């Protein structure tokens, strides 16, 4: 598995993995009409085009995981998160067939310095993701929100 910084050539693959990751992870949590919307992937394509080409996003850290030349996962973090003013993990997705390979940990470390304080939001319930983040030093801080009918909890990791 190769983990490397994303570049604009990765945009179509990022959009595909983003949509497929949502479908594999959130089926039953998000409405099927959202997950199966034919415009879902084109919207993600526009999103990733903006993230990787718009100068306003130059401070974002985006990495991809490749297996045999195919993008199978990605991580996205920004230099400053929320009101806390610390790095935030915005997305980490790995296609189900590649989970447990170590690529998730490599992606996380590629977009967030393992020694820095960080924050993220994770769907609840999403026990697999929450267990992954706990193994990497994140703990729930008691903050919750509901977006699009889905409960999310905030997790933070202290600096080492």
Residue-by-residue DSSP string for 8-34? GGGHHHHHHHHHHHHHHHHBTTB-HHH
Question: Is residue 80 pLDDT above 80, yes or no?
Answer: no
pLDDT at 39: 96
- The CATH number given to 2-157 is 3.40.630.30
Higher pLDDT pick, 86 / 44: 44
CA distance 94 to 75: 9
The band of 47, judged by pLDDT with boundaries at 50, 70 and 90, is: very high
Per-residue confidence band for 143, with pLDDT thresholds at 50, 70 and 90 = very high
Contact 61, 111 (CB under 8 A): yes
Q: Is the pLDDT of residue 82 over 90?
A: no
Confidence of residue 31 (pLDDT cuts 50, 70, 90): confident
Rounded Cα–Cα distance for residues 31 and 34 (Å): 6
Confidence category of residue 150, pLDDT binned at 50, 70, 90 = confident
Residue boundaries of the structural domains of the chain: 2-157
Rounded mean pLDDT, 125-151: 93
Round to whole Å and give the CA distance between 81 and 22. Answer: 22
């Amino acid at each position: 598995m190769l983990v490397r910084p994303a570049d604009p050539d990765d945009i179509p693959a990022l959009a595909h993995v983003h949509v497929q990751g949502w479908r594999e992870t959130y089926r039953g949590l998000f409405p099927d009409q959202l997950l199966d919307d034919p415009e879902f992937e084109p919207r993600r394509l526009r999103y990733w085009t903006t993230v990787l080409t718009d100068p306003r996003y130059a401070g974002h850290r985006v990495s991809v995981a490749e297996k045999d030349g195919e993008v199978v996962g990605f991580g996205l973090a920004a230099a400053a998160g929320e009101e806390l003013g610390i790095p935030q993990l915005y997305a980490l997705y790995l296609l189900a067939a590649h989970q447990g390979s170590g690529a998730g940990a490599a992606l996380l470390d590629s977009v967030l310095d393992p020694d820095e304080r960080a924050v993220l939001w994770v769907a609840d319930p999403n026990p697999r993701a929450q267990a992954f983040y706990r193994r990497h030093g994140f703990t729930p801080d008691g903050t919750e929100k509901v977006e699009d009918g889905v409960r999310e909890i905030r997790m933070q990791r202290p600096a080492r």
